[in-house]
């Protein structure tokens, strides 16, 4: 067993400032010389980039459905072995989703900090705080932070509305706490926000004036009893992984698993490199290919190399944006169309509104693989899917799964630790 202070940062809804507060907390405690490990509840790629820059360490996802409770327990246990503090950023509102942030809190006994955006709110603030703290008694809310506070008078009204049993842990003023920039899939990537470090330092200084300068309670984390054994099924395999500004949506846990199974990862950039690394398999994760269409389209030498890889019968796993890159054409929000690889006959068009979102699973000959989908593009293709994914909620739309030779392509972002056996089969010759 390992003991480590831990805190889950949650809110009544999305957009309340969870990422900002979690990142500021990570930076504050890091500046105090503490080792901070940060996790993100639920499937997400963009928030973890911000949190990674704030903490100085890779950020892993905790999802009780995608990874399972034992997997989440193992990640927390490993973090507790070296960390002085564990922070978890919740997903959506505290009780939203199945599983929810509250489910995660209850499963591991992690206390909750409720962050509430106080914009256009006064005494109702206390009612919201009371609701969060009492809706599910097993989920322990240990305090409240007011975000986006307009003035000292506004803060007093908020504090006066608080129930007596619930600690007020401070506030962050609106004038130093703007919103992080976002685009159609969420926050802008951390390495594209020039002022991010300065912003985090300023927020950390303000957090030093709140009740959050103290460490939260220590939690006991146990090693799981029933983790699957990871065998070296990919020993000696070289996997080329696309990694750049266009292809950056990849779970760190996926990369860890591939390496744990013996694979050697070789990173390359479809934007800037002129060839593929020597590789037995190719992994094209998601990202923002629509923001880099012209440069991706112009790099014909990489197109040729990927065609040669496919023609040689070597495996390719393409997720969401990685799949778009393999299509015949992509059309952006402004109606501009570029030619892509045409390895997979079809065209995609970016939409103004979200096309699909949710947790899904798919059946493979080796078992079930889980993941999530989140995209703003619409695919048109005559290629018939080999299968459809199964959403976790009725009424949600399944995603098509395509197999063309050794190419496996879908809008799905796979969480590969959900089934190492399927993962090994996808990348094996």
For the stretch 324-361, pLDDT in tens is: 999 999 999 999 999 999 999 999 999 999 999 999 99
| Mean pLDDT confidence for 243-254 | 96
- What is the CATH classification number for the domain harbouring 82? 3.40.50.300
In this structure, the answer to whether residues 242 and 217 fall within a common structural domain is no
Each residue's pLDDT tens digit, 291-332:
999 999 999 999 999 999 999 999 999 999 999 999 999 999
Q: What percent of the chain is modeled with pLDDT above 90? A: 86
Residue that is last in its domain, among 191, 221, 251: 221
Asked if pLDDT for residue 210 goes beyond 90, the answer is no
Task: List the catalytic residues.
Answer: 320
pLDDT value at residue 196: 76
pLDDT value at residue 190: 44
Each residue's pLDDT tens digit, 93-118:
999 999 999 999 999 999 999 999 99
User: Which of 43-52, 90-99, 180-189 tops mean pLDDT?
Assistant: 90-99
In this structure, the answer to whether residues 170 and 256 fall within a common structural domain is no
Give the Cα-Cα-Cα angle 230, 235, 239 (nearest 5 degrees).
Answer: 105
pLDDT value at residue 180: 54
In this structure, the answer to whether residues 53 and 150 fall within a common structural domain is yes
Whether residue 233 is contained in a domain is answered as no
Q: How far apart are the C-alpha atoms of 95 and 17, rounded to whole Å?
A: 16
Structural domain containing residue 75: 2-221
Whether residue 390 is contained in a domain is answered as yes
Scan for tokens 């992690």, then name that residue.
Answer: 110
- Residue 251's contacts (CB-CB under 8 Å, 6 or more residues apart) are 45, 60, 61, 413, 415, 416
Backbone angles phi, psi at 16, to 5 degrees: -90, -15
Which residue in 248, 253, 277, 251 sits closest to 264, CA to CA?
A: 277
In this structure, the answer to whether residues 415 and 326 fall within a common structural domain is yes
CA torsion sign for 256, 257, 263, 269 is: negative
Asked if pLDDT for residue 413 goes beyond 50, the answer is yes
Asked if pLDDT for residue 181 goes beyond 50, the answer is no
Whether residue 6 is contained in a domain is answered as yes
- What is the CATH classification number for the domain harbouring 248? 3.40.50.880
In this structure, the answer to whether residues 214 and 252 fall within a common structural domain is no
What is the distance of C-alpha 409 from the center of its chain? 20
- Residue 43's contacts (CB-CB under 8 Å, 6 or more residues apart) are 61, 63, 66, 359, 371, 372, 374, 413, 415
Asked if pLDDT for residue 175 goes beyond 80, the answer is no
Running DSSP on this structure, what letter comes out for residue 240?
E
In this structure, the answer to whether residues 206 and 245 fall within a common structural domain is no
How many other CB atoms sit within 10 Å of the CB of residue 290?
Answer: 23
Mean pLDDT of the chain: 93
Tokens found for residue 356:
């699909």
Residue that is last in its domain, among 174, 196, 221: 221
pLDDT value at residue 187: 43
CA torsion sign for 144, 147, 149, 152 is: positive
In this structure, the answer to whether residues 260 and 173 fall within a common structural domain is no
Whether residue 227 is contained in a domain is answered as no
Asked if pLDDT for residue 185 goes beyond 50, the answer is no
Each residue's pLDDT tens digit, 119-160:
999 999 999 999 999 999 999 999 999 999 999 999 999 999
pTM for the whole structure: 0.93
Give the Cα-Cα-Cα angle 355, 359, 361 (nearest 5 degrees).
Answer: 110
In this structure, the answer to whether residues 217 and 251 fall within a common structural domain is no
Scan for tokens 């992509």, then name that residue.
Answer: 330
């Amino acid at each position: 067993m390992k003991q480590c202070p831990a805190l889950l940062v949650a809110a009544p809804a999305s957009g309340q400032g969870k990422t900002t507060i979690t990142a500021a907390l990570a930076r504050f405690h890091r500046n105090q010389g503490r080792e901070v490990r940060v996790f993100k509840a639920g499937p997400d790629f963009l928030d973890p980039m911000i949190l990674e820059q704030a903490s100085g360490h890779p950020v892993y996802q905790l999802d009780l459905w995608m990874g399972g409770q034992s997997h989440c327990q193992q990640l927390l246990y490993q973090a507790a072995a070296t960390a002085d503090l564990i922070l978890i950023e919740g997903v959506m509102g505290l009780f939203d989703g199945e599983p929810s942030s509250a489910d995660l809190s209850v499963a591991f006994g992690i206390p909750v900090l409720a962050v509430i955006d106080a914009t256009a709110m006064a005494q109702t603030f206390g009612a919201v705080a009371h609701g969060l703290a009492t809706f599910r008694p097993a989920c322990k809310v240990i305090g409240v932070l007011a975000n986006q506070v307009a003035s000292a008078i506004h803060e007093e009204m908020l504090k006066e509305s608080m129930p007596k049993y619930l600690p007020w842990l401070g506030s962050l003023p609106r004038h130093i706490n703007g919103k992080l920039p976002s685009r159609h899939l969420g926050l802008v990537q951390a390495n594209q926000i020039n002022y991010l470090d300065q912003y985090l330092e300023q927020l950390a200084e303000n957090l030093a004036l709140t009740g959050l300068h103290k460490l939260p309670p220590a939690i006991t984390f146990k090693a799981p009893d029933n983790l699957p054994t990871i065998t070296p099924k990919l020993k000696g395999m070289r996997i080329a992984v696309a990694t750049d500004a266009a292809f950056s949506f990849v779970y760190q846990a996926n990369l860890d698993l591939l390496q744990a199974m013996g694979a050697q990862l070789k990173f390359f950039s479809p934007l800037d490199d002129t060839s593929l690394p020597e590789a037995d398999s190719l992994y094209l994760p998601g990202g923002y290919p629509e923001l880099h269409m012209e440069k991706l389209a112009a790099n014909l030498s990489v197109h040729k190399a990927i065609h040669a890889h496919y023609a040689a019968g070597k495996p390719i796993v393409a997720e969401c944006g990685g799949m778009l890159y393999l299509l015949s054409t992509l059309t952006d929000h402004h109606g501009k169309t570029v030619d892509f690889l045409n390895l997979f006959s079809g065209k995609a068009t970016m939409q103004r509104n979200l096309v699909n979102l949710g947790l899904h699973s798919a059946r493979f000959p080796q078992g079930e693989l889980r993941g999530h989908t989140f995209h703003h593009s619409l695919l048109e293709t005559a290629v018939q899917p080999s299968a459809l994914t199964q959403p976790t909620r009725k009424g949600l739309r399944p995603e098509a799964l395509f197999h063309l030779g050794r190419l496996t392509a879908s809008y799905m972002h796979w969480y590969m630790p959900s089934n190492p056996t399927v993962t090994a089969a996808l990348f094996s010759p």
